[in-house]
Structure 1
């Protein structure tokens, strides 16, 4: 169970550095939030470190009008987002009972490149923008993990995303969603085949505060991410990851009303590869996944990629 810790905390990392729901994506990228051992906080106390790199290139076709993150709208959007995140995790010293607890802080840095096709009457043209820097940070005051048995585990947490990145009304490439987001989250892990086969799932609802700069209120978004991984004695593991994003409420703004609420939906699935290496007093696990989005509505559509490393000292 020891290696569960850091990968659990990494579910905060891939939250998108790409516009708000008013920009057709929201914080989550389909299928990237799910992590190994999502339901487990192990009993071993102390500090741990997580590193991740997420890459996303997506498109909204010209047949769909989309609200822009800094205000206004566009017909046709292309985005390339890269996010590097550093995560610090502290496991509380609560012993080996039925409950264990951890706290998490995430510091993300983003590179954004956005291009939009604009049309005003019979006149059309394209504009582009890019920016690099600190993105919106996240904290998890408490992750509480309940161990029902050696193979069944459940976690409860509240992720809080703060508008710490730069935001300038009217820009295409924003490094902040310019709102606070609160995400109550439930994780579940079940192990099979003497622990070598893992199924983990992570479900959450993202509640956004209003973007006061544009007077745009994003609707609540449900997301579910799952993975199935088979690990072998040589340290390698293979499996599949998938994700589902479903907006539960209409967005609230003048342009959203014109677009019938602009509720988003998407699915994604793809392979995952892991490798773990242990040493006396610690271990590292690397993970890579690539997914393809499909059945997408009112969101960017692309092929997200995530590379992560979890280090236990």
Structure 2
């Protein structure tokens, strides 16, 4: 049986993240200049084969375990939960369960896929000081906050085309603000705002030579958090990767990303001004391709380190994902001669 690659962009996996952390899948990492550092698109969720959609109609599962640990200097200020804080240290352990349905492989000359992502996670936030906000006017008072939370669900839709070794994909994400949002608290998984992402990806995949070269770029458009009156600006993300297949069961490669907020934050809640953020990240990825029951599956590990951050945390993210088909409509056998 040929290897089926049930991959799709998340990102937020994308994906929602903890307040003061960047969020596989889609829901996808460190704290951004956006409110609470939370962005819909999950940096690092692109990578190898990112533009390749399943070749058969069916239902596919992608489950991503995401761990991020980041910090900032003591004099760097952020806004999270309506509070101005300093000396931020944040850790998140989350799971992004994504289901993708491919109803047709003949839509506008390509494959159509729609799906949903449900994030569940435990954000843990420490700050050296709460300077101003719902938690009180305090200075040099350290605080900690953590909780197990259900984030905002994310809807996704994508269309992919294949011509020879080249795969192209247009994808969208829509964050629906109905998750568990803790007003005035430091640690949150839900955004409590509408947000959408549009991205375009390309993958040059040569199975015979064993190489995959992929890239992805997109913009995230954010609504206003009605509780904090914070309007997060528009964000740009760019990712690239190169991976080599060494055997039918093992592949490894490198990948990186660049994030930049292109318009400033606004609203009465944006008390630190436009506060645009920027960061780079680079790391590696390994994957193993196996059979679970009778289904082909891919297990992928990614480790990425951030650097040269502006107005955000710098940290390390680890993602462990499992992709496999739940149901595939196999093509009918050719008639016997």
Corresponding residue for residue 51 of structure 2: 39
Relative distance call for 1:45 and 1:195 in structure 2 (3 A) is farther
The 3 A distance-change label for structure 1 pair 143 and 274 is same
| Alignment match, 1:144 | 159
Could you tell me how far 1:35 is from its partner in structure 2? 3.8
| Structure 2 CA distance for partners of 1:50 and 1:304, relative to 1, 3 Å | same
Q: What does residue 310 of structure 1 align with? A: 323
Corresponding position of 2:97: 86
The offset of 1:42, in angstroms, is 3.5
Which residue of 115, 118, 122 corresponds with 1:107? 118
| 5+ residue gaps, structure 1 | none
Find the aligned partners of 2:126 and 2:74 in 1 and give their Cα distance.
12
Change (3 A) 1:305 1:280: closer
Q: 1:12 to 1:253 in 2, by over 3 A?
A: closer
1:189 maps to what in 2?
A: 203
Q: 1:135: Cα distance to partner?
A: 1.0
Q: TM-score, normalised by structure 1?
A: 0.90
Q: Distance in 1 between matches of 2:264 and 2:110?
A: 38
Q: Over residues 252-283 of structure 1, what are the superposed CA-to-partner deviations in whole Å (9 max), with x where a residue is unaligned? A: 03463x53411000000011111001478520
Task: Answer yes or no: is the 8 Å Cα contact 1:2–1:44 preserved in 2.
Answer: no
The answer as to whether partners of 1:9 and 1:87 remain within 8 angstroms in 2 is no
**Structure 1 match to 2:308:** 295
Q: Matched residues in 1 for 2:87 and 2:322: separation? A: 35
The root-mean-square deviation of aligned C-alpha atoms, in Å, is 2.3
- For the residues of structure 2 that align with 1:3 and 1:202, how far apart are their CA atoms? 21
CA distance in 2, matches of 1:25, 1:161: 12
Asked if the contact 2:38–2:191 (Cα under 8 Å) also holds between the matched residues in 1, the reply is no
TM-score normalised by L of structure 2 = 0.84
For the residue of structure 2 that corresponds to 1:58, the secondary structure is: strand
